[in-house]
Amino acid sequence: MAGASFVVGSCALVIMAFMSAATAASVPAVYVFGDSLADVGNNNHLLTVLKADFSHNGMDYPGGMATGRFSNGKNSADFLADKLGLATSPPYLALSSSSNANYVNGVSFASGGAGVSNATNTDLCITFDKQIEYYSGVYSSLARSLGQAQAATHLARSIFAITIGSNDIIHYAKANTAATPSQQQQYVDALIQSLSGQLQSLYNLGARKVLFLGTGPVGCTPSLREMSSTKVCSVVANAMAVQYNKAAEGVLSGMVVQHPDLHYALFDSSAALLRYIDQPAEYGFTEAKAACCGLGDMNAKIACTPLSSYCANRSDHVFWDFYHPTEATARMLTATAFDGSAPFIFPINVKQLSAI
């Protein structure tokens, strides 16, 4: 009987392991697009000042080394992969032509500085349009290696994670501090027109599960706070973030009407992150205004560099540098996106999206 119990127990463990593997495999890959919030090293390969491949960046990343992530440790792309039971999608520019087989495991095109508009940080990053162009090559490569039908099935099961728009709004708000609501809306409308075409291009290239990470309350980043004599959030930037996220949801919901096989989850980063900024103690933070790493007032005059000072406890700061969240903030935001609910993630969460 003892031997039979051992066999039954062993079979149960095998079945549980198989079920766990099957759950993880429900999403075979993540294809990442966007800006520095998701960049895992693409900008390391560019001639640009928009880099993070030096200390103190990465000080809390495994190994304690800078990787090109604009963070003290992991970012949202890492935590999303962790939640899905996958390895972080590697930066596209780090993959050689001989490693095309890796495309089936996901690729990241995200580039620090990128915006919806090609005019945002031109020549300093991989623009969103260029990221889509690179992905088009990956799509063709997958079609050749897997066959058109199998490639389409693979991509339909994969998640396309997109975080874009923050840089556009930050640049506009810094240059147009006295912009009227009408002028703000006109600029957001122009962004949305471009975004609509970009999302349609991704759909045409096989995207069927889209995770859209909306723009956060960028007016509350240390850099924009520092511009105010009273160190308050930029009303212009925050209002535009809300307008942008609402309009992006309209684009995605409209696409679903046209394409019933498209599914999406939209994360309202603005609403989610404002909770930590407005009530930091409730979420385990002690500092929600100043950056952990930097120089000058609020550590927001100069980016995090090897010469910068930095806080002793990164987990109690909302912001790592003058624009980017700490690893702790990114972890919490991703957890909300993964299995949270409206009004922060809707119409479904990432866990539900992955199960489709």
Active site residue 263: no
Among candidate residues 78, 308, 324, 354, the one labeled active-site is 324
CB of 69 closer than 8 Å to CB of 52: yes
Active site residue 324: yes
**Sign, CA torsion 91/131/209/163:** positive
- The answer for residues whose C-beta is within 8 angstroms of residue 288's C-beta and 6 or more apart is 276, 277, 278, 280, 317, 318, 319
Active site residue 56: no
Q: How far apart are CA 177 and CA 232, in angstroms?
A: 13
Q: How far apart are CA 320 and CA 329, in angstroms?
A: 9
Among candidate residues 78, 223, 321, 354, the one labeled active-site is 321
Q: How far apart are CA 29 and CA 182, in angstroms?
A: 41
Three-class SS state of 106: coil
CA 337 to chain centre: 11
Pairing of strands 263-267, 345-346: antiparallel
Q: How far apart are CA 68 and CA 251, in angstroms?
A: 32
Q: How far apart are CA 240 and CA 172, in angstroms?
A: 10
Q: How far apart are CA 213 and CA 191, in angstroms?
A: 15
Among candidate residues 36, 71, 76, 89, the one labeled active-site is 36
Q: How far apart are CA 253 and CA 356, in angstroms?
A: 17
Using a 10 angstrom Cβ sphere, with 0-12 exposed, 13-18 middle and 19 or more buried, the burial of residue 312 is: exposed
CB of 73 closer than 8 Å to CB of 201: no
Q: In this structure, what DSSP letter does residue 174 have?
A: H
DSSP annotation string for 30-80:
EEEEESTTT-SSGGGGSSSS----STTTTTTSTTS---S-SSSS--HHHHH
Q: Which residues are catalytic?
A: 36, 321, 324
